[in-house]
Structure formats: C-alpha cells, structure tokens
C-alpha cells in the first residue's frame, strides 16, 4: 500500500475540508502534458552540473529556474 503524505506538506491544492476536489485530475493532466512533450521533443539540461533546488512557495518553484534545450524528435 502506498504511503499517504500529509496534504499539509504541499498546500498548492489546499488541505483540510476545502481541499481541491480534482487534485488527481490536475495531476493526470500535468502527466499527459509531460508525456506529449516528451514524445515530441528531447530535453537536455543547459547546465548539467548545476544542482537543482526547490523553493517551497505557493507552487513548487525551482530556485533560479531550470533551463533546458529542447530539440524535436524525428
Ligand atoms: C493545477 C491545477 C489546480 C490547482 C492548483 C487547484 C487548486 C485548488 C485550491 C487551492 C482550491 C481551494 C480553494 C479554496 O479553499 O477556496 C481548489 C478547490 C477546488 N478545485 Fe482545484 N485546483 C486545480 C485544478 C482543478 C481542476 C482541474 C478541477 C476540476 C476539474 C478543480 C476543482 C476544484 C473544486 C470543485 C474545488 C472546490 C472544493 C471546495 O470548495 O470544497 N481543481 N483547487
């Protein structure tokens, strides 16, 4: 059985009685978008040596951004 994380750890979808009713649908949409993009493009980090750190804000922010080069798959 998968371990359930507390919704209070990542509050973008709110937590408690007013939490987002379609959080799972939103995650599914995000995964579909990623799958479509990965099917069409190859992504390569602009700087592969750069350490990636998150910043906990209202959304999950990448500190300083995450620059990539995208090239079409043939
Ligand atoms: C990235 C996408 C989304 C984010 C970040 C998000 C975030 C939130 C947040 C923060 C709330 C709480 C609002 C409040 O307390 O007043 C909320 C509520 C809600 N969301 Fe989402 N949401 C997302 C996508 C969706 C989608 C795709 C649907 C429906 C298809 C949806 C349906 C709802 C509904 C019905 C509520 C009201 C829940 C209630 O008041 O009891 N959300 N959402």
Counting ligand 1 atoms within 8 A of each CB, the residue from 7, 11, 17, 22 with the most, and so the one to mutate, is: 22
3-state secondary structure 7-54: CCCCHHHCCCCCCCCCHHHHHHHHHHHHHHHHHHEEEEECCCCCCCCE
Residue 21 near ligand 1, beta carbon < 6 Å: yes
So where are the chain's domains?
43-74
1/35: higher pLDDT: 35
> Residue 1: what pLDDT?
65
Atom 25 in ligand 1: residue holding the nearest Cα? 22
Taking 80 as the threshold, does the pLDDT of residue 3 lie above it? no
The model's confidence at residue 7, banded by pLDDT at 50, 70 and 90, is confident
Atom 31 in ligand 1: residue holding the nearest Cα? 22
Model pLDDT for residues 19-71, shown as the tens digit of each residue: 999 999 999 999 999 999 999 999 999 999 999 998 888 777 899 999 999 99
Which of 1-5, 7-11, 18-22, 40-44 is predicted with the least confidence, judged by mean pLDDT? 1-5
């Amino acid at each position: 059985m998968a371990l359930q994380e507390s919704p209070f750890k990542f509050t973008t979808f709110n937590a408690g009685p007013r939490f987002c009713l379609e959080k799972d649908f939103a995650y599914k949409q995000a995964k579909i978008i990623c799958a479509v993009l990965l099917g069409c493009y190859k992504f390569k980090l602009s700087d592969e040596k750069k350490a990636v750190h998150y910043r906990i804000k209202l959304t999950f922010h990448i500190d300083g951004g995450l620059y990539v080069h995208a090239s079409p798959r043939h």
